[in-house]
Amino acid sequence: MPLRFTAYDGSAAGPEDSPFGLNLTTPRGATYIATAPGDLGMARAYVAGDLEPKGVHPGNPYGLLKSLGDLHFERPPALVLAQIARSLGRDLLRPIAPPPQEHLPRWRRIAEGLRHSRARDAEVIHHHYDVSNEFYEMVLGPSMTYTCALFESEDQSLEDAQENKYRLVFEKLNLKPGDRLLDIGCGWGGMVRYAARRGVKAIGVTLSREQAEWAQRAIVAEGLGDSAEVRFSDYRDVPETGFDAISSIGLTEHIGVGNYPAYFGLLHNKLREGGLLLNHCITRPRNNGKAKAGGFIDRYVFPDGELTGSGRIITEVQDVGFEVLHEENLRQHYALTLKGWCEYLEANWDACVAEVGEGTARVWGLYMAGSRLGFERNIVQLHHVLAVKLGADQRPLTPLRPWWKA
């Protein structure tokens, strides 16, 4: 074992001199692990404070997770499982309530609406994004940008890299003063404000009320009220059409793979002929794997989230009538982005805990450090797909060799 594991009963495993370790402090933690095998049970014990990390900060447990990632777990044979169950005893195998940060299981979310219905989408977005604007300011930094940045080097600051990402999207969409941009799933309005500063009329929509209110205040503070707006709204309720460009930055993960035809079809209808779409989203490295997220991500981070490969996304974009012009993978850039967020959380740990509680702060440290590892190991990727709505009224789409094209 590459790490030291200790428990409240005095048992231990792994090298004593390991730089990383886990300490199971309570029988409750053992119950969480035993009754929900896999990442969900471990996460429950960790979030509840019953599984303490050693050698890392809870806001940035990357080193520990990397060490755990080097282990290869196999399900024990039935006889060994029975022996484990007898050794634990009946009391430890009786299920208990999960930590309060955990969302409902999939089967119980039906009460909030069918999967990816408007009501249910609004609820899961609220669960993830309406944590606290003050918390996000401490974790995301001044840019308040909760998507992958674009780094020119590993030493570039996170804020400069996020500005670079907006520049990349802006230039891929070939935006000019007077153009009209729709930014769906706009977060705290970073893309909207970036475009408005350059003379573009920009509308952003988000299902998070807290995001919309923060973004509108930022728009007013910058004097961009005549050209920028962020609405608390479902993207399906935007009445305007004929946009010159649409940016979808980090929304596709929430749509549901089965809804891609309707989603990209709606975006196609919102654009004028010759209008451009830039779809920025997390993907899997394969197109034929399962779309649903694992237990921890589904219950604590992105309820109802689904991921697929970039090939599936390109296929769906083409099938509704777009021509795909360009595609690229920014996987390594997202690993660096998550590294920066974890460093912010660690540096502001006490204030973050005071704002949202230690359990929620632990969720975010675990999620971001684990995601960084996932991007580094090519378990997940981040793809840009640039596409055009074909038609007779097309203007020149992009320079023949733009700076972002190899």
Res. 299 pLDDT band, cuts 50 70 90: confident
Task: Give the chain's largest Cα–Cα span.
Answer: 75
pLDDT beyond 90 at 326 = yes
Q: Report how far residue 349's alpha carbon sits from residue 129's, in angstroms, rounded to the nearest whole number.
A: 19
Pair (126, 71) in one structural domain: no
Question: Lowest-pLDDT range, 68-72, 202-206, 229-233?
Answer: 68-72
Residue 295's pLDDT is 79
Pair (187, 69) in one structural domain: no
Report, as an integer, the average pLDDT of 300-318.
92
Pair (128, 83) in one structural domain: no
What single letter denotes the amino acid at residue 309? G
- More confident position, 375 or 397: 375
- Tell me the backbone φ, ψ of residue 386, rounded to 5 degrees: -105, 130
pLDDT beyond 60 at 115 = no
Residue 113 lies in a domain: no
Report, as an integer, the average pLDDT of 87-112.
79
Residue 272 lies in a domain: yes
Q: Are 109 and 304 in contact (CB under 8 A)?
A: yes
Closest CA to 19 of 78, 74, 79, 62: 62
CA quadruple 57, 382, 251, 259: dihedral positive or negative?
A: negative
Pair (133, 170) in one structural domain: yes
Strands (E), 235-356: 243-249, 271-283, 322-329
The structure tokens 């299920």 sit at 95
Pair (85, 152) in one structural domain: no
75, two tokens: 């399900």
Pair (299, 161) in one structural domain: yes
Boundary residue ending a domain (93, 112, 142):
93
Number of domains the chain contains: 2
Residue 397's pLDDT is 59
Pair (230, 165) in one structural domain: yes
Q: What is the percentage of the chain residues whose pLDDT exceeds 70?
A: 90
Q: What is the percentage of the chain residues whose pLDDT exceeds 90?
A: 75
Residue 40 lies in a domain: yes
- DSSP of 225-270: TTTEEEEES-GGG-----EEEEEEES-GGGT-GGGHHHHHHHHHHH
406 CB-near residues (< 8 Å, 6+ apart): none
Helix (H) or strand (E) holding 209: helix 209-221
Residue 336 lies in a domain: yes
344, two tokens: 């912010």
The structure tokens 């300011």 sit at 137
Q: Report how far residue 78's alpha carbon sits from residue 76's, in angstroms, rounded to the nearest whole number.
A: 6
**44-83 residue pLDDT tens:** 999 999 999 999 999 999 999 999 887 776 778 889 988 9
Residue 313 lies in a domain: yes
Residue 135 lies in a domain: yes
Domain range spanning residue 237? 122-389
Pair (211, 325) in one structural domain: yes
Residue 209 lies in a domain: yes
Pair (234, 296) in one structural domain: yes
Q: Report how far residue 283's alpha carbon sits from residue 336's, in angstroms, rounded to the nearest whole number.
A: 17
Pair (65, 200) in one structural domain: no
Pair (242, 351) in one structural domain: yes
Q: Report how far residue 339's alpha carbon sits from residue 200's, in angstroms, rounded to the nearest whole number.
A: 32
Res. 275 pLDDT band, cuts 50 70 90: very high
**148-198 residue pLDDT tens:** 999 999 999 999 999 999 999 999 999 999 999 999 999 999 999 999 999
Pair (218, 361) in one structural domain: yes
Residue 103's pLDDT is 82
CATH, residue 215: 3.40.50.150
33 CB-near residues (< 8 Å, 6+ apart): 24, 41, 42, 44, 45, 51
Residue 112 lies in a domain: no
Closest CA to 381 of 319, 311, 323: 311
pLDDT beyond 80 at 128 = no
pLDDT beyond 80 at 399 = no
Report, as an integer, the average pLDDT of 381-387.
97
Residue 39's pLDDT is 87
